[in-house]
């Protein structure tokens, strides 16, 4: 799980949050599965916390499999799961995706060979 201290906010700003090697690896692995990526897309594009049951209806997988993928995304630090009685709601955890993006960008800009 991505250390929450890295993303703890002082007041309101979203933080860049550098990813270390282990975190980077977890995040990439989590993103690399197509179904999981699609799930994350749906969570991101939903205007509000996405109910688990909704995700289940959208993707055509079993509840057990969904639960597994949710756990993977959660422990990679990509989403937050709020459990409320019978239900669970999924939200994107801000900052992680941008951190990954800037990591990749900086990798390429480190490149000097122009051919």
CA 26 – CA 2 distance, rounded (Å) = 9
Q: Which of its own copies, DNA, none does residue 4 bind (CB under 5 to 8 Å by kind)?
A: none
Question: Closest CB to DNA among 47 and 85?
Answer: 85
CA 104 – CA 74 distance, rounded (Å) = 21
| 43: helix, strand or coil | helix
Element (H, E) at 27: helix 21-32
| Residue among 93, 90, 76, 101 at smallest CA distance from 2 | 76
| 93: helix, strand or coil | coil
Q: In whole angstroms, how close is the CB of 83 to its own copies at the nearest point?
A: 16
Q: In whole angstroms, how close is the CB of 33 to DNA at the nearest point?
A: 4
The one among 4, 16, 25, 68 contacting its own copies by CB under 8 A: 25
Q: In whole angstroms, how close is the CB of 83 to DNA at the nearest point?
A: 6
Q: Which residues bind DNA (CB under 7 A)?
A: 29, 32-33, 35-36, 51-53, 56, 60-72, 81, 83-88
């Amino acid at each position: 799980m991505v250390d929450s201290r890295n993303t703890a906010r002082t007041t309101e700003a979203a933080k860049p949050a550098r990813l270390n090697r282990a975190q980077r690896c977890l995040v990439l692995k989590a993103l690399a599965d197509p179904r999981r990526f699609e799930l994350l897309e749906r969570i991101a594009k939903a205007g509000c916390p996405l109910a688990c049951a909704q995700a289940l209806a959208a993707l055509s997988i079993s509840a057990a499999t969904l639960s597994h993928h949710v756990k993977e995304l959660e422990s990679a630090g990509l989403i937050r799961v709020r459990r409320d009685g019978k239900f669970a709601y999924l939200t994107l955890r801000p900052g992680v995706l941008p951190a990954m993006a800037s990591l990749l960008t900086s990798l390429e800009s480190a490149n000097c060979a122009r051919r």
